[in-house]
Amino acid sequence: MHWMPPSIVLRLGLSALTLAGFASAQVDGAATRKSAETRPEPADQALRLMDEGLNDVVSEGLKSLRFSYRPTATGMPLPDFRVQVAWKKDGSTEVSFLTPDKKPLDRSVPHPWLDAEDPDRAGRKMSERYVEGGKALLGLFLRPTYSVQFAAWRKRLETRTVNGRPESTLVLEPAVAERFRRVEIRLGADGRAQKITQTLVRPIDGHDVDVLFPKFEPAGGKLVLKSFQQETSGRTDQVVFEYQKVSGFVLLASVERIVKDSKVGGSKTEFDDIEAAR
C-alpha cells in the first residue's frame, strides 16, 4: 500500500513537540495547569528564563478551541478526509473525521485510509494514528511553559568553557520514558534554547537521535517558535510555523516541513475553521 503516510510525518510530530510541548502534558494537563514548585536549583531557574515572554494561551484564559485540517502524506496525494479537533479546558478532547466539504464522515462505511493497518505499529489502524496526530497538533496550540512540561523530569544544568566562553546545557530525563529517553537543551547567551538533542525511546527509520535548532520570533506581541532546523542522520530539514490572531489569542495558522535534498518534497498543514473562546 504505497499511499500510506511515511514515518517522516510521525518524526515531524515528535520533533515539533520537543520544541513546543509534549502532547500528554498539553492535552491532559492543560485544564489543571499548576505553577511549577519554587526551587532554587539552577536547572529550574534556567527553565523559567526560557519561559519569559513565550506565548501561553491557556494561562491567558483560553477555555475552548476547535480547528480542522486536511492531513498530508509526504510525496503522496492528499487524503480524502479532514481531521477535526475540539478541546475544552475541563479536560475533554475529541478528534473526529470530516469529508473534504467539512461534513461528518460516515464511519460505519469502511474507509481505504482510516481502516488500513498502520505500517509502523502492528495491530493499530490508521484512524488511531490520525487521532494521535490530531492530539499532537492540539499540543502545539496549547503549549504550556517549559517549567510545567519538565516539572516531573530529572534535570540538571551543566556548564563548561568552550573557546574561553561558558556554555550551559540543560540535561532532562523523564521518570518514565514514553516517547523520549533524554533531552539536552544547549542555551544561548539570552537563555533561550539554541540546540536541542533528543533521544527517542523507539527509533524511527532506524535512527533514535534528532538534533534541532529552534528560532523564536515575536508574533502578535508574544514570543513564538517560528521555525526549527532538524538534522537526522546526515539529512537537514526545516519546519516553519505561521501564526494568526483569533479572538485575541495568538494561534497556529499552518505548519510546513521543507525537506532538503529529497525527491519526496515537503508538506504543509493548514488549520481552518479555528474557534477560540475565553
More confident: 265 or 156: 156
Range of the domain at 77: 8-272
pLDDT value of residue 107: 92
Residue 145: phi and psi, rounded to 5, are -70, 160
Greatest alpha-carbon pair distance for the chain in Å reads 66
What span, in angstroms and rounded, lies between the C-alpha atoms of 225 and 21? 11
What span, in angstroms and rounded, lies between the C-alpha atoms of 68 and 17? 19
Q: Is residue 153 part of a domain?
A: yes
Q: Is residue 3 part of a domain?
A: no
**Residues 31 and 89: beta-carbon distance below 8 Å:** yes
Instruction: Please name the residues in contact with 162: beta carbons below 8 A apart, sequence gap of 6 or more.
Output: none
Q: Is residue 278 part of a domain?
A: no
Q: Is residue 2 part of a domain?
A: no
Q: How many domains does the chain have?
A: 1
Q: Which of 112-116, 169-173, 256-260 has the lowest mean pLDDT?
A: 256-260
pLDDT value of residue 99: 95
- What are the pLDDT digits (tens) for 11-65? 444 444 444 444 333 444 444 454 545 545 899 999 999 999 899 999 999 999 9
In the chain, the percentage of residues whose pLDDT exceeds 90 is 53
Q: Is residue 277 part of a domain?
A: no
pLDDT value of residue 166: 87
Q: Is residue 247 part of a domain?
A: yes
Residue 91's nearest CA partner among 34, 22, 24, 31 is 31
- What are the pLDDT digits (tens) for 73-119? 655 667 889 999 999 998 899 999 999 999 999 999 999 889 999 88
pLDDT value of residue 202: 81
Residue 86's nearest CA partner among 98, 78, 76, 94 is 94
Indicate the pTM of the whole model: 0.78
Q: Is residue 199 part of a domain?
A: yes
**Residues 277 and 258: beta-carbon distance below 8 Å:** no
What span, in angstroms and rounded, lies between the C-alpha atoms of 218 and 109? 46
Residue 278 pLDDT exceeds 90:
yes
Q: Is residue 1 part of a domain?
A: no
